[in-house]
Amino acid sequence: MIKWFKEGAEMQPKPNVHYYEKPYDTNKIWSKLEIDPATMGDQGIYACVANNQYGVMAKNFKAEYVY
């Protein structure tokens, strides 16, 4: 299972926020978060958290809005 978080809170669906998941290779899933159009309010620290019977892995990144 893959979940996306912003500033520590699980993200909820919005009209401009889309999550994509695509299986690849054996037992692997590729996930993508797309925010379009982005606004200044979308800035922040995001995390992609994958969880299964073997454990949990998270990757964090910072998104900045530049105009």
Domain of 23 in residue numbering reads as 2-63
Number of structural domains (the chain) is 1
Cα–Cα distance measured from residue 19 to residue 10, given in angstroms and rounded to the nearest whole number: 13
- For 42-55, how does the pLDDT look when each residue is reduced to its tens digit (9 = 90+)? 999 999 999 989 99
Do 34 and 20 touch, CB atoms closer than 8 A? yes
pTM, entire model: 0.86
Residue 53, CA distances (Å) to 4, 32, 42, 50, 59 in order: 19, 22, 32, 10, 18
- For 7-64, how does the pLDDT look when each residue is reduced to its tens digit (9 = 90+)? 999 999 899 999 999 998 888 889 999 999 999 999 999 999 999 899 999 999 999 9
Residues 6+ apart with CB under 8 A from 12: none
- CATH of residue 24's domain is 2.60.40.10
Q: Which two tokens stand for residue 40?
A: 């200044």
